[in-house]
Structure 1
Amino acid sequence: MPDRTDSAANFAQRARIARDRSGLTRPVVAGLAGRSSDWVKAIETGAIGMPRLPMLLRLAHIYGCDPADLIGDERLAAASYTKAVHGELPVIKTALTTYRLRAADREPESAGVLAARVRQAWQLWHGKGAHRSRTAALLPDLLADAQHSSRRLEGADRRRALAVQGQVYHLAQLFLSFQPAPELVMLTGDRAMTAAQDADSPRAIAAAAWYMNHVCRDANEAAEARVDLAEQAAALLRQDDPEGIARWGLLMLAVALSFAKIGRAGDAWRYWDRANDAARRLGPEYAHPWLVFGQGIVDAYALTMYNDLIQPGKALEVAAALDLDAVPSATRRSYHLVETARAYGMQNESVASVALLQKAFRESPETIQYNIHTRMALPELAKSGPRMVRRDAQRLATDLGVPV
Structure 2
Amino acid sequence: MPNEATPDPYAHPLVFGQRMQILRTRRGMSRPVLAGLLGRSPSWVKQVENGVLNTPSLSMILRIAEVLRVRDLVELTGDPATSAELFTGPGHRLLPAVREAVDAFPVRYEREPVSATCLRQRLDRAWAARHSAANHRAAVGALLPDLIRDAQCGTRAAETSAERRAMQAILSEVYSLAQFFVAYQPDPALLWRVAERGMVAAQESEDPHAIGVAAWLTVQAHRDAGHFDAAETVNAETLRYLEPMLPDASTEVRAVTGALRFEAGYTAARRGEAGTAWGWWDRARRLAEALPPGYYHPVTSFSTAVMSAHAVTVAVELRAGPESVRQSARADGDLIPSRPRRARHRIEEARAHHLDGRADVALATLAKAHATAPETIAYNGYARRIVLEETESRSPERRRRAGELAVQLGVLAV
Q: Tell me the TM-score normalised to structure 1 length.
A: 0.90
Counterpart CA distance in 2 for 1:184 and 1:264 is: 31
> Secondary structure of the equivalent of 2:325?
helix
Contact 2:38 2:63 in 1 (8 A): yes
Are positions 1:327 and 2:369 aligned together?
Answer: no
1:138 to 127, 140, 143: 143
Shift of 1:46: 1.4
* Partner in structure 1 of residue 291 of structure 2: 282
Counterpart CA distance in 2 for 1:72 and 1:386 is: 28
Distance 1:197 1:304, change over 3 A: same
Are positions 1:24 and 2:29 aligned together?
Answer: yes
- Give the 5 Å matches for 1:1-400: 10-26=15-31, 28-29=33-34, 32=37, 40-51=45-56, 56=61, 58-65=63-70, 67=73, 69-71=75-77, 77-79=83-85, 82-104=88-110, 106-154=111-159, 155-223=161-229, 225-237=230-242, 238-239=245-246, 240=248, 241-400=250-409
Contact 2:133 2:139 in 1 (8 A): no
Counterpart CA distance in 2 for 1:288 and 1:65 is: 31
Shift of 1:251: 1.2
Counterpart CA distance in 2 for 1:236 and 1:299 is: 26
Counterpart CA distance in 2 for 1:79 and 1:310 is: 23
Range 353-362 or range 122-131, more displaced? 122-131
Shift of 1:146: 0.7
RMSD of Structure 2 on Structure 1 (CA): 2.7
Counterpart CA distance in 1 for 2:129 and 2:57 is: 39
Aligned residues: 397
Distance 1:258 1:344, change over 3 A: same
Counterpart CA distance in 2 for 1:217 and 1:80 is: 16
Q: Tell me the TM-score normalised to structure 2 length.
A: 0.87
Distance 1:74 1:384, change over 3 A: closer
> Secondary structure of the equivalent of 1:79?
coil
Q: Which residue identity is paired with 2:347?
A: V
Shift of 1:58: 4.9
> Secondary structure of the equivalent of 1:282?
coil
Q: Which residue identity is paired with 1:170?
A: S
Range 62-71 or range 193-202, more displaced? 62-71
> Secondary structure of the equivalent of 2:104?
coil
Shift of 1:303: 0.9
* Partner in structure 1 of residue 6 of structure 2: none
Shift of 1:227: 2.4
| Cα shift readout 1:142-184 (whole Å, capped 9, x = no counterpart) | 1111111111113212211111111111111111112221111
> Secondary structure of the equivalent of 2:226?
coil
Counterpart CA distance in 1 for 2:40 and 2:374 is: 29
Distance 1:93 1:50, change over 3 A: farther
Contact 2:70 2:87 in 1 (8 A): no
Counterpart CA distance in 2 for 1:342 and 1:97 is: 37
Shift of 1:26: 4.7
Contact 2:209 2:256 in 1 (8 A): yes
Shift of 1:200: 1.2
Shift of 1:80: 7.8
Distance 1:192 1:15, change over 3 A: same
Range 388-397 or range 34-43, more displaced? 34-43
Shift of 1:249: 0.9
Counterpart CA distance in 2 for 1:389 and 1:337 is: 19
Contact 1:82 1:375 in 2 (8 A): no
Contact 2:325 2:356 in 1 (8 A): no
Range 10-19 or range 357-366, more displaced? 10-19
Distance 1:262 1:334, change over 3 A: same
Contact 1:130 1:364 in 2 (8 A): yes
Shift of 1:348: 2.5
Contact 1:9 1:46 in 2 (8 A): no
Q: Which residue identity is paired with 2:146?
A: D
Counterpart CA distance in 1 for 2:146 and 2:60 is: 41
Range 27-36 or range 317-326, more displaced? 27-36
Distance 1:124 1:110, change over 3 A: same
Contact 1:165 1:192 in 2 (8 A): yes
Shift of 1:297: 1.2
Range 236-245 or range 35-44, more displaced? 35-44
Shift of 1:57: 5.7
User: Which sections of structure 1, spanning at least 5 residues, go unmatched?
Assistant: 1-6
Shift of 1:372: 0.7
Counterpart CA distance in 1 for 2:370 and 2:33 is: 28
Counterpart CA distance in 1 for 2:389 and 2:236 is: 40
Contact 1:57 1:78 in 2 (8 A): no
Counterpart CA distance in 1 for 2:215 and 2:87 is: 30
Contact 1:382 1:394 in 2 (8 A): yes
Identity %: 38
Shift of 1:266: 1.5
Contact 1:82 1:376 in 2 (8 A): no
